[in-house]
Amino acid sequence: MQLKDRPPHLILFGPPGAGKSTQAALLVNRWPMVAISTGKRLREEIAANTELGRQVRDVLANGRLVPDELMIATLRTWLEDIPPDKGFLLDGFPRTVDQARALNKMLEELKRPLTAIIKLNLTVSEAVYRLGGRRICYGDGAEEIIHINDEDAVKRCLDRGGLLVQRPDDLPNVIVRRLSVYEEETEPLIEFYRSSGIVHTIDASGSPEEVANRIIEAVEGDQ
């Protein structure tokens, strides 16, 4: 069943390795909506040296979080730019219950109620496999993210003179710590939204297409 009355308004939660960016790319092809990764948007603002970029550059460089008031005001601007016939998918916000409360208030004012909260689930062993085997191929041409067990991708990288590099935060002990931090941050948010009846826990194992289909079935099944 297709969404009938309005395009979806979604929040996507998922641990490192769950494939949030991949799912966002697949879901915007399913429904008319705009994917907003707050981290990516802020990096783009910094690179473009916009007023916002200049405001957050020093904050992020010093390891601090962007103040809630600035983040909410910025997100409101991004959402107001989305045409009324399109929905949105948020990735990276909210991160705290206070942010979630502020987001609810803003969405009520914008008359854009949430359709669903998607929580991707991934086992620790699967996350370690995915991220621990992740490599970035640097060399001629565009950077490419591959898995060390993908022999064809590894050969393709080496054949073009590329160099396979592992990110420091993809080491197994770091991955486990990142997963722990994610759970500590996310569980209070899930509890905050649970009473709304729109939280869907989705198995993030399997192919990207299989995971996307699970999300689609959960969201459209509510309509």
**Domains detected in the chain:** 9-124+180-221 (3.40.50.300)
For residue 3, the model assigns a pLDDT of 59
Q: Which of 20, 112, 119, 214 is catalytic?
A: 20
Reduced 3-state DSSP string for the chain: CCCCCCCCEEEEECCCCCCHHHHHHHHHHHCCEEEEEHHHHHHHHHHCCCHHHHHHHHHHHCCCCCCHHHHHHHHHHHHHCCCCCCEEEEECCCCCHHHHHHHHHHHHHHCCCCCEEEEEECCHHHHHHHHHCEEEEECCCCCEEEECCCHHHHHHHHHCCCEEECCHHHCHHHHHHHHHHHHHHHHHHHHHHHCCCCEEEEECCCCHHHHHHHHHHHHHHCC
User: Is 95 among the catalytic positions?
Assistant: yes
As a whole number of angstroms, the distance between CA 153 and CA 123 comes to 25
User: Is 6 among the catalytic positions?
Assistant: no
**Residue listed under structure tokens 């991004």:** 78
User: Is 178 among the catalytic positions?
Assistant: yes
Residues in the chain: 223
pLDDT < 50 regions, the chain:
1-2
User: Is 4 among the catalytic positions?
Assistant: no
**Residue listed under structure tokens 């004012």:** 109
For residue 2, the model assigns a pLDDT of 47
Q: Which of 105, 167, 177, 194 is catalytic?
A: 167
For residue 20, the model assigns a pLDDT of 92
- For 81, the token pair is 């730019």
User: Is 160 among the catalytic positions?
Assistant: no
Q: Which of 95, 135, 160, 177 is catalytic?
A: 95
Question: What are residue 146's DSSP bridge partners?
Answer: 135
Residue 161 identity (one-letter amino acid): G
